[in-house]
Amino acid sequence: GQNIDQPTEMTATEGAIVQINCTYQTSGFNGLFWYQQHAGEAPTFLSYNVLDGLEEKGRFSSFLSRSKGYSYLLLKELQMKDSASYLCACMDSNYQLIWGAGTKLIIKP
């Protein structure tokens, strides 16, 4: 079956670094997406990885290992506005997105 796993909740301190992990099992693989979702709002796109390695985009970076079925989202210099849920999603062989349940990130001053 198809499955995406990520931690339910994480807590970090303002100014620090946090890594949110995602493991996946899908029928085929056409890339992995990370989205940010603030409470009651729509998800917004953060990153896309299809090749192994690290993609850096400002304070956010995303890593992919296809052989391990593993990705992480790295957030640096955390700000209070980064408090949100972070959704991991894989695109399968039919170009359909399979979604994880999301990781709620709580930032403390």
Partner 1 sequence: DGGITQSPKYLFRKEGQNVTLSCEQNLNHDAMYWYRQDPGQGLRLIYYSQIVNDFQKGDIAEGYSVSREKKESFPLTVTSAQKNPTAFYLCASGSSGVTEAFFGQGTRLTVV
Residue ranges that bind partner 1, judged by CB under 8 A: 4, 8, 30-31, 33, 40-45, 48, 50, 87, 89, 91, 95-102
**Chain centroid to CA 19:** 9
d(CA 102, CA 81): 17
The nearer residue to partner 1, 15 or 28, going by C-beta atoms, is 28
Is the CB of residue 51 less than 8 Å from the CB of residue 104?
A: no
* Nearest distance, CB of residue 83 and partner 1, angstroms: 17
The nearer residue to partner 1, 18 or 91, going by C-beta atoms, is 91
The nearer residue to partner 1, 45 or 81, going by C-beta atoms, is 45
* Nearest distance, CB of residue 85 and partner 1, angstroms: 10
Is the CB of residue 92 less than 8 Å from the CB of residue 26?
A: yes
* Nearest distance, CB of residue 52 and partner 1, angstroms: 16
* Nearest distance, CB of residue 76 and partner 1, angstroms: 22
Is the CB of residue 88 less than 8 Å from the CB of residue 101?
A: no
Is the CB of residue 26 less than 8 Å from the CB of residue 47?
A: no
